[in-house]
Amino acid sequence: MKNIVIALLITISSINIMCAQDRVTGKTFATRSEVIAKHGMAATSQPLATQVALDILKKGGNAIDAAIAANATLGLMEPTGNGMGGDLFAIIWDAKTQKLYGLNASGRSPKSLTLNYFKENGYDKIPSHGPLPVSVPGCVDGWFEMHKKFGTLKMAEILDPAIKYAREGFPVSELIAYYWDHSVPRLEEFSNFSEIYTINGKAPAKGEIFKNPYLANTLEKIAKGGRDVFYKGEIAKEIDRYIKEQDGFLSYEDLASHKSEWIEPISVNYRGFDVWELPPNGQGTAALQMLNILEGYDIASMGFGSTEYIHAFTEAKKLAFEDRAKYYSDMDFNDIPIEKLISKEYSNERRKLIDPDFAAEEYPAGELEQGNTIYLTVADQYGNMVSLIQSNYRGMGSGMTPKGLGFILQDRGELFSLDENHMNCYEPGKRPFHTIIPAFVTKDGKPFMSFGLMGGSMQPQGHAQIVINMVDFGMNLQEAGDAPRIRHGGSSQPTGEIMEDGGTLYLESGIDYEVIRELMKKGHKITFDLGGYGGYQAIMYDAKNGVYYGASESRKDGQAAGY
C-alpha cells in the first residue's frame, strides 16, 4: 500500500508537468507538431539514423534501401536495442503491386541442442545470458531478402553510411547512453564484450564519441560478399568457433541452413480501418485480438483516460494475453488457429467474460480447435512504405560477443518454454516466441499508416492504444504517440509463467487521480513506472494532399524527418 500511495503522489505531481506545454494547437500532452513532407519520410529511434535514411532517399534509393541503411546504422548507434546478432520482421507496402508483404527474418534454435539437455542439467527455464539462449541471427538475411525483392541501390552504397560512422565515430545520444551504462555491469564478464563496447572499461557517456572498427570491417565484408559471408563464410566460422569455446550449441550448420520467410500479414477491421500484423511466432495477433474485443465498446464516448476505458482496455489485454501464452509459437511446429483467434465471433464470446465493475484475477485461455528493441519506418516518393522492427531481445543481447566482429548475439531463445506440453516448448531448429512486431494500417485497400511501438509485452498494448487514440479519440499522429500510456504486466507468459492476482496496471503520468482511485476500487493493482511504455515511430500518408506525416517517440532519442 505504501508503494501505491507514493506512486499516486508522483503521478499527481506529474500531471501539471504533462500539461505545461502551453501549445497553441493540439492536445496539452503533445510534445511537438507532426512532421509533414511530400517526397519522403523517415522515423527512427536515433536522429543520425533518420538522416541516413533521408540521404539514401535523396540519392534515388527507395524506402526499402533506406530502411536497411537506417537499421545498419542503428545496429552501431543503438546496440542497446538491436544489431546484426538479432532478428528482424517487416511489413512492406509495395507501390508497384499495391500490396502488403510480410517478412519473418527470425532465426531458429540450434539443431544440436535438445530439451533433454535442459532437463538433465536441472534447468527450469532457459537462462537470459550466455550461450544457451542464442538462436540464429536472422537480421542480415532479412536485409538481403528485402533488397533482393524490392531494393534498387547496391548494397555497398546502402551500408556505406554505417561503415563510415563505425570507423569515424559518432556522439552517443542521451537515452542510449543511459541503457548502455546499465548493460555493461551485466555483460562485462563475457569475453570480448568490454573490448568492443566500453571506453576505458566504462560505457560511453552522453555526447562521447564511440567507434566500432570491428563492426565496420564486418559490414564491409557483407557489402562485398553478400549474405553468404555472414551465414556460410568467415563470419559464420568465427561465430561457430566462439560459441563452441563458450560451451554453447549454435553451429556453422545452423547458420548455413538459415533462411527468412515471406509470409502473408493478417488483419482485422477496426471501425473501417484494416490493421495489419504478422502471424506467430510473433505476438502481433494479440493487438488484433484486443482491438476486436474493444470494438464492442463505445470507446469514444468513454473518453481518453477514463476509468471505463482503462478498465475495458486492461481486461481485453488480459484476455488476449492468455491466448498469447497458450497458442503463439512457431507455426512450422504447430497448427495454430489464427483465423479463429482474430474472428469477430470469437472476440464477441471472449468479451462476455469481462465484468465492467471488477478486475479479473485470472482468465482462461480460449478453447479452440486446433526488452529493448528498435523500430523504424520509411516512406519514399514512389509510394513504398516500410514498417521494420529489429532486436537483440534483452537490450544488448546474450553477452556472447564473437571476437573481432563488432556485434553481440541475441538471447531470443530465452523465450522458449521447457514444458513439453506447451506449443512454445523448446525443440531443435524451432523459432522461439517473439515479442517484436511491426504494424501497418490500410483504408479502403490503400496505405494509411506504417507504425510500431517497441518494448516487449508493451508492443501489442501500444499498437492497440495508437489505433484507438487516432480512430476513437481523434488524435493526430504525434498526439497518438505522446498521449499518456497504460501498460498491464503480469499476464500468463509463453515461457510458462501464469498470471497471479490479476497482475499489475502501470499508469504513466497524466492519468487523473480520481480515475486511479476508481480503478483501485475495481480491484486493479496500480503502480508508477519510470519506463516500460515503449518507443513509437509512425508515418501516415495523406492521399488527398499527396503528403506524408511523420511522428517520433518523445520518450526516446528519435526523430521523424522528411524532404
User: Residue 211 class from Cβ within 10 Å (0-12 exposed, 13-18 middle, 19+ buried)?
Assistant: middle
Least confident of 153-157, 374-378, 453-457: 453-457
| pLDDT above 60 (res 17) | no
pLDDT-based confidence at residue 345 (cuts at 50, 70, 90): very high
Average pLDDT estimate for 225-229: 96
Q: What is the mean pLDDT of the chain?
A: 93
pLDDT at residue 13, rounded to an integer: 40
Residue 26 has pLDDT above 90, yes or no: no
- Burial environment of residue 121 by CB neighbours within 10 A (0 to 12, 13 to 18, 19 or more): exposed
> According to the model, what pLDDT value does residue 456 have?
85
Q: In what order do the strands lie in the sheet with 372-379?
A: 261-263, 99-105, 87-94, 385-393, 372-379, 41-44, 559-562
Report pLDDT for 20: 45
Residue 367 is predicted with a pLDDT of 54
pLDDT score, position 112: 97
Predicted local distance difference test score (pLDDT) of residue 484: 94
With a cut of 80, say whether residue 366 has pLDDT above it: no
Residue that wins the pLDDT comparison between 114 and 17: 114
What pLDDT, in 10s, does the model give residues 99-129? 999 999 999 999 999 999 999 999 999 999 9
Taking residues 427-446, what's their average pLDDT?
95
Residue 153 pLDDT grade (very low, low, confident, very high; cuts 50, 70, 90): very high
Structural contact between residues 394 and 129, judged by C-beta atoms closer than 8 angstroms? yes
Ranges of each domain in the chain = 1-563
Strand partners, 449: 441, 540
pTM of the full structure: 0.94
A 10 A CB-CB count for 16 gives: 9
Point out which residues pair with 37 in neighbouring strands.
Answer: 548
- Cell readout for 258 is 538459415
Instruction: Tell how far CA 41 is from the center of its chain.
Output: 20
Which active-site residues does the annotation give?
373
Phi, psi of 499 (to 5 degrees): -60, 130
Encode 349-382 in three state secondary structure. Answer: HHHCCCCCCCCCCCCCCCCCCCCEEEEEEEECCC
C-alpha distance from residue 19 to each of 26, 28, 478 (Å):
12, 5, 16
Share of the chain above pLDDT 70, in %: 95
Q: Give pLDDT, residue 371.
A: 56
User: DSSP letters of 192-220?
Assistant: THHHHH-BTTBPPPTT-EE--HHHHHHHH
For residue 452, what are the β-bridge partners?
Answer: 537
Instruction: Give residue-wise pLDDT tens across range 271-295.
Output: 999 999 999 999 999 999 999 999 9
Residue 11 above 50 pLDDT?
no
pLDDT in tens, 285-321: 999 999 999 999 999 999 999 999 999 999 999 999 9
**Do 40 and 382 contact (CB within 8 A), yes or no?**
no
Number of Cα atoms under 13 Å in the Cβ half of residue 361: 3
